[in-house]
Structure formats: C-alpha cells, structure tokens
Homo-oligomer: A and B are copies of this chain.
Amino acid sequence: MSAQAPHNTLLIPGPIEFDDAVLQSMSHYAESHVAPGFVKVFGETLTLVRKLFQSTNPTAQPFIISGSGTLGWDLVSANLIERGENALVLNTGYFGDSFGQCLETYGANVTHLKAPIGDRTSLEEVEAALKEKSYKLITLTHVDTSTGVLSDVKGVAQLVRRVSPDTLVVVDGVCSVGSEEIAFDEWDLDAVLTASQKAIGCPPGLSIVMTSGRAIQAAQSRKTPPGAYYASIANWLPIMQNYENNKPSYFATPPTQLVHALHTTLTQITADVPGRFAIHTEVSDKVKAAAAELGLKQLAARPECQAHGMTAMYLPEGLVPADVLPGLLKRGVIFAAGLHKEIATKYIRFGHMGVSVTDPKRGDVDNALAALKEALAEAKQAKGL
C-alpha cells in the first residue's frame, strides 16, 4: 500500500513514480547545508553514485548539482572541450541535436553522425569518422528519450580507445542510468551525465555527472578558462571532494531535500545493481512482447537497439496519440506522446523504470498493458478501423 495520495500512474519516460520512502525524504525538515548531519548525507550520496556506476577508481569523480539533466551538457561543453576543438555527436534523435547546440554555444566544432530514426550509427561509420579528424570528445545518447533507441556504449568506448585513445567518451545517460548497465571503469568512460527523475527514481532537480580522472585532467589542463561559472568543474570539484571527505564546503547551496531523496533511492538501488538491470530487462521483454501481440511496431526496430526502461511504439495507421492517451488516462495510466519532430503524431512512449518495475506488488506494468489493449480497441472502434 502506498502512503501517497491517490493519483494516476505516471508511466512516461521520466519523471517516474516514486517509492514512498523517497518521497518522504523530500519533506525533510530544514537543515544547514554545512552542518554535520547534512554533510554526512551528501558525502554518502556521492559515494553511492560511484556504486551506481560500479566504479572503484579513486580518480573518478561524481558531481551532484542543483539543476536539470540539461545542465550536464553545459558541464561537459564548458569544461572538457575548448573553443575551436572538434566534437563528434552520435545523433539518435532530439537529444543529440540539443547536446550539439550546447557544445556549439561554448565554441566547439560539432560534427553530427545522424542515424536513421529508430536506428543507431554502426561502429564502422563511427570508426571512419574518427579517422577523418582529431576529436577532443565524442558524445552518445545512451537511450534517446524521444525514440527509445539504445546506443552501444561499451562498443563505442572500445572503438574509441583503439582508434583515437585520447578522445573523451561522453555519455548522455539521462534516460539510461539506473535501468541500463553501465560499468564506468571497466568500459573506460570519461563522463556520464544524468538526472535524478528517470530510472534513478528521485524527483527532478538534480544534475548528476560522473567523470573519469582523464576528464578531470582535461578540465584542469585547459589553455583557456572554463566557459561557465555555475557549470564550472573547477568551482565544484573541491566542494564534492570535501563533502565526500565529510568536510563542509560552500560554492552554492545544495538542494538539501533532493539530496536526501537521492540518498534514499540510491541506497535502495545499490543494494543490488546487477539485479536492477536484470529486472528492467525482464520487464522490458514482457512489455515488448505484449506490444508486438497488439500489433504495435517499435521505433527501435532491431532488438539490440531497444532500450530496457522505455518502449516507443508506432500507433496503428489512422490513429494519433490524442486518440489513445485519453483512453489510457481514463484507466488511470499516463503514457507520453511522441517527441521526435518528424514523426511525433505517429507514436506513443511507455516508460517502465524504477519502482513500477522493481515492485511487482504495485501492478503498474500489468495494469498499463491491460489499459493499452482496451484503449487501443476503443480508439480503433471510434475511428471505424
């Protein structure tokens, strides 16, 4: 039983449903951000981020900053690359476009490798691109929230180390961290940026960035000063180091309540990180099989390109999201409409992450699948399809 007020079940690709304990942490009473109680919680939360990324390398450095996931792009673009240097963006949708714009804001020369909708760029194409020019960094969207396409982070990272070993590997993990496997050290990644409100299961408002020693070194050996102040690694690094060493420190006031909530959810998640990925895969398989049974094709056609925390499905010919979403809502279920500009009216998105997946007693996924079946039938009937 949930302690929360009755409400429709939020099954969009973030924000997601919350565990009761996480939500209760949000109403923690007022605390000083430099008092021992909070310093300890913030320090532990940073250590839990390392665990979430399966990282034990002491040169790696997590950052937890008040902001949206988008802020992570600025942290990368203003610190890890300098004006006039080259960035390669593996573009699988809306979020690749935007990350590219952010990089350009700070003066990077951006090359996009655009994959067709629903697919990802092949390793051969990436290798060819890497051999053409010297890139300071390469970015890839682990799961593109607009299309549900899963990138091959491990494969790309291996390729980069072989072909262009100094290029920094930057992963936009906003829609993947907490539901897709990431082995930060083992895969030799340089930066993974994410947000609190997706598979991590915390309310929105935290930008979380994990960086390698190589990335920190790049930030510290810039020829020019960082391009931003609030998004400056130099300004935040001593703060994060101090808190993790249990010492208060001040650059900007941390969002104390959100940090408590993050602490609560990461404590739950890190109790069994591999188990978390396994259950997300299992439930995703079930959702995708059920969608296929309803005759719904996924945007991500090839199974290896399909995310495990969300499913983007084309609607049957003749239906638009506005035909189906109200029928879902009537049954207490909230899905999202399409987001990719070129095909937005042709598909819907179902987010299956966090507590809706890990707590089967809630019945969220089964209820959603049953509601989808009924809402689709209703919509088809209304349209005479």
Binding site for B on A (CB under 8 A): 4-5, 7, 10, 12, 14-18, 23-24, 26-27, 29-33, 35, 66-71, 73-74, 77-78, 101-102, 105-106, 195, 197, 203-205, 225-232, 251-258, 334, 336
Contacts and interface: CB of A to CB of B under 8 A. Distances in A.
A26 B29 contact: no
B74 A228 contact: yes
Contact of A70 (B14, B73, B195, B251): B251
A62 B68 CA distance: 18
Contact of A229 (B5, B15, B32, B105): B105
B105 A232 contact: yes
A257 B32 contact: no
Nearest to A22: B27
B29 A4 contact: yes
Nearest to A10: B30
B67 A204 contact: no
Contacts of A255: 68, 203-205, 255, 258
A15 B33 contact: yes
B106 A229 contact: yes
B27 A67 contact: no
B30 A27 contact: no
B253 A69 contact: yes
Contacts of A67: 66-67, 71, 230
Given A23-B29, A68-B252, A69-B253, 10 more contacts: A5-B29, A10-B30, A15-B30, A18-B29, A66-B67, A66-B204, A70-B252, A74-B231, A205-B257, A255-B255
Nearest to A253: B204
Given A105-B229, A230-B73, A27 B29 contact: no
B14 A253 contact: yes
How many identical chains are in the complex? 2
Given A14-B253, A257-B203, A334-B32, A70 B230 contact: yes
Contacts of A66: 66-68, 71, 204-205
Nearest to A30: B10
Contacts of A4: 27, 29
A40 to B, nearest CB: 15
Nearest to A334: B32
A251 B231 CA distance: 17
B105 A32 contact: no
Nearest to A15: B30
Contacts of A251: 70
12 contacts: A5-B29, A7-B31, A66-B204, A67-B230, A68-B254, A70-B252, A71-B230, A73-B229, A74-B229, A105-B225, A204-B253, A205-B205
Contacts of A31: 7, 10, 15
Nearest to A75: B230
Contacts of A336: 32
B69 A252 contact: yes
Contacts of A74: 228-231
A141 to B, nearest CB: 15
A334 B37 CA distance: 13
A225 B232 CA distance: 19
